[in-house]
Structure 1
Amino acid sequence: MNALIIEDEKLVALELTASLAEVDPGIKIVGTVSSVKTALRWFAENAEPDVIFADIQLSDGISFTIFEKFKISCPVIFTTAYNEHAIRAFKVNGIDYLLKPVDWDELRQAVAKARALTKNQNKLVVDVQKLMDALNTPASLKSTYKEHFLGNARNSWVPVKIADVAYIIRDELNFMVTNTSERYILDYDTLDEIETMLNPDLFYRASRHCLVNINAVQSVKGLANLKLQLVLKTPNHQVQIDISRDKAPSFKKWLEK
């Protein structure tokens, strides 16, 4: 199976290439491009691959621009730390995505799904078009974001406004912590499910186990290993939330929006 990688971080592209070789030795990387411009040139000069692994936010734009220019019929798997509106539309249309840093098991499952999807290319063309339509109607997507959560505390349900949530963390169960340091259990199976309900302009997936509200961030410390450490506002200032080296660039972009 021939694969194209669209990724503007060289180290991430190399790590993905190595992981794919372990997950499925039958995958051949036929190209690695780092920008919208080079990707457009690649598609103009080469046959379509069997599968595409693409970051969303590239140095010169978003990768969906590529799909507007070329009619892509192969599966597209996004490998992204930049959780934009596209993610929601993406999941609805059944096209897989992997959150950086890419988990090995999730990558294996995504590759298996891509192999299965190549058997029905006509369906994939429709799915990509639906994704593009969804991206062009952000207002309708915003209307689906949650405004309240029901938190469970001592067998009582407490309504909490999303604006009052400082962060959500996975620790066997999903816990919601408010700006006043109150802690409630959320009755959802995974953080992935919760993430789709939140406005990505306000909440960032700091790690596989934590979502943080931008309004709860007091400051950001740079660490020697190129990681970042978030300092939350009082009374949650003693909580440590780290951003990995791989996710640091996308976090900075999100923070500056």
Structure 2
Amino acid sequence: MEIKTVIVDDEPLALEEMDFLLKELSDVRVVGRARNGLEAVDVVKKTGPDLLLLDIQMPGMDGFGVLKQILKKGRAPHVVFVTAFDEYAIKAFEFNAVDYLLKPVEKRRLAQALEKARRVLAGSGDRDRDREGGGDGRLERLLATLERKLEPPRKLTIKVGGRYMLIDAREIIYATVEEGAIVVVTDSLAGSSNCRTLDELQQTLPGDLFWRAHRSHIVNINRVREVLPMFKRTYYLKMADPKAAELPVSRAQISRLKELFRF
């Protein structure tokens, strides 16, 4: 049985790597690729895949938004998530019998996920595929569970001097690493996050609003004031904070930069 597969990931290198790994599997045929949520919905509609390898954290429409749009169409493929979420979130995937892959994706783990997909597809058949939401409602239950468990907290704790301030996540202009600490900057304050790493902080922020522009910082895309071209096709972001911070964009994120700001 051939497994028609669509890959969705906003990172070009991750997309290429997944495509390369899948081509080594004789019964898997990649029928479409997408680098953002809108493309993903369109590609799924056009190709009708059996399997969707779906990144969760993407600017604009994230993986959850993709699922919502697909469910509205009344016909959904089976889903394997590609995610950087923590163990607490992973339990939600396991509970709903949908597989997941942690980044960076290992060849062995991908093979296991595809074997599980084969078993699920062999047991579902066309009857389940034609019913709304992937047959037995697995996708609806998955989405409901994830939205409950993974909803970003309304408030984040920031230490400023000897005080602990509570801020709304959307107030953050950017977060960066300074001397091993995660520093969060808003219009009115700059303080240390209680998160240990930028990865941990990113998991608490709305995926449609915050972008990991560099390994050392996360930016609020609505608070970028200017894109500054630099030498050798590199770029800096001038932020809309009181000090007008200028933050570098990593070379790996330049294509995403151009997609986000359309230049």
Counterpart mapping for 1:9-158 below 5 A: 13-18=15-20, 20=21, 25-26=24-25, 29-34=28-33, 35=39, 36-43=41-48, 48=50, 51-54=51-54, 63-64=66-67, 65-66=69-70, 68-73=73-78, 75-78=79-82, 93-94=92-93, 96=100, 105-106=104-105, 108=107, 111=110, 114-115=113-114, 117-118=116-117, 121=120, 126-133=137-144, 144-152=151-159, 156-158=162-164
- In structure 1, runs of 5+ residues without a counterpart are 81-89
3-state DSSP of counterpart to 1:245: helix
Q: Which one of the candidate residues 144, 162, 167 is aligned to 1:161? A: 167
Partner of 2:225: 218
TM-score normalised by length of structure 2:
0.57
Alignment CA distance shift 1:130-1:224 (3 Å): farther
Percent identity over the alignment is 16
Equivalent pairs counted in the alignment come to 221
CA–CA separation in structure 2 for the residues paired with 1:242 and 1:141: 31
Letter in structure 2 aligned against 1:182? A
Contact 1:54 1:78 in 2 (8 A): yes
Q: What RMSD over aligned residues (CA atoms) do the two structures have, in Å? A: 4.7
CA–CA separation in structure 1 for the residues paired with 2:112 and 2:149: 26
3-state DSSP of counterpart to 1:70: coil
Offset of residue 194 of structure 1? 2.7
1:174 matched to 2:182: yes
CA–CA separation in structure 2 for the residues paired with 1:204 and 1:167: 9
CA–CA separation in structure 2 for the residues paired with 1:223 and 1:131: 44
- In structure 2, runs of 5+ residues without a counterpart are 34-38, 94-98, 124-133
Alignment CA distance shift 1:130-1:79 (3 Å): same
Partner of 1:195: 202
Offset of residue 158 of structure 1? 1.9
CA–CA separation in structure 2 for the residues paired with 1:37 and 1:164: 32
Letter in structure 2 aligned against 1:52? L
Contact 2:5 2:28 in 1 (8 A): yes
Partner of 1:248: 257
TM-score normalised by length of structure 1:
0.58
Could you list the per-position Cα deviations for residues 71-96 of structure 1 after superposition, in whole angstroms to 9, with x for gaps in the alignment?
A: 434x423589xxxxxxxxx8674254
Offset of residue 220 of structure 1? 1.8
Partner of 1:83: none
